[in-house]
Structure 1
Amino acid sequence: MPRDPELQAHIEGIIAEVAQLEGQPLLGFRDVPVDNSLLSKAPDIAASEPVQRQVFLGRGAEIESDDDYERRLYILRKVISGRIHEETKGVDNGFYVVSMSSR
């Protein structure tokens, strides 16, 4: 996620909207715990540390199998990434989906 809290909130709004459109209930977000104690405290290095957030999605009622759910999550990831890429016109804003899987 980007470091800017307003941009984070905007991206989380996009994730929530796309999840709803795709029929997957959004359960919430959380900060991923990290141990950055070994990182340099130099301002330029500290400022480049990524913000990691985890999204929790429920399984839509119409999804019958785990494989179907994995396919839906893949599509969801692509739609979210595509929408954010389109909004930023390809300029890197710090958003990147590391993984979106139920496994």
Structure 2
Amino acid sequence: MPRDPELQAHIEGIIAEVAQLEGQPLLGFRDVPVDNSSLSKAPDIAASEPVQRQVFLGRGAEIESDDDYERRLYILRKVISGRIHEETKGVDNGFYVVSMSSR
């Protein structure tokens, strides 16, 4: 996630909206604990450390198998990434989905 709190909130709003449109209940977000003690304390290094956020999604009632759910999560990730890419006109804003899987 980008470091800017307003941009983070905007992106989380997009994730919530797309999840709802795709029929997957959004359960919440959390900060991922990180150990950055080995990183340099130089201001420019610390300022470039990404914000790690984790999203929790429920499984839509119409999904019958784990494989179907994985396909839906893949599509969800692509739609979210595409929407953010479209909004930013391809300019890097610090958003990147590391993984979106139930496994």
Gaps of 5+ in 2: none
Q: Take 1:26 and 1:66, find their aligned partners in 2: how far apart are those partners?
A: 18
What's the counterpart of residue 46 of structure 2?
46
CA deviations 1:46-67 (Å, max 9, x no partner) are 0000100000000000000000
Q: Take 2:68 and 2:41, find their aligned partners in 1: how far apart are those partners?
A: 45
Residue 29 of structure 1: how far off its partner (Å): 0.2
Residue 5 of structure 1: how far off its partner (Å): 0.2
Give the paired residue count: 103
TM-score (norm 1): 1.00
Identity of aligned residues (%): 99
Residue 94 of structure 1: how far off its partner (Å): 0.1
1:20 corresponds to 2:50: no
Gaps of 5+ in 1: none
Q: Take 2:71 and 2:13, find their aligned partners in 1: how far apart are those partners?
A: 22
SS in 2 for 1:30: strand
Residue 32 of structure 1: how far off its partner (Å): 0.2
CA deviations 1:9-63 (Å, max 9, x no partner) are 0000000000000000000000000001111010000000010000000000000
TM-score (norm 2): 1.00
SS in 1 for 2:2: coil
Structure 1: which 4+ aligned runs deviate by more than 2 Å?
A: none
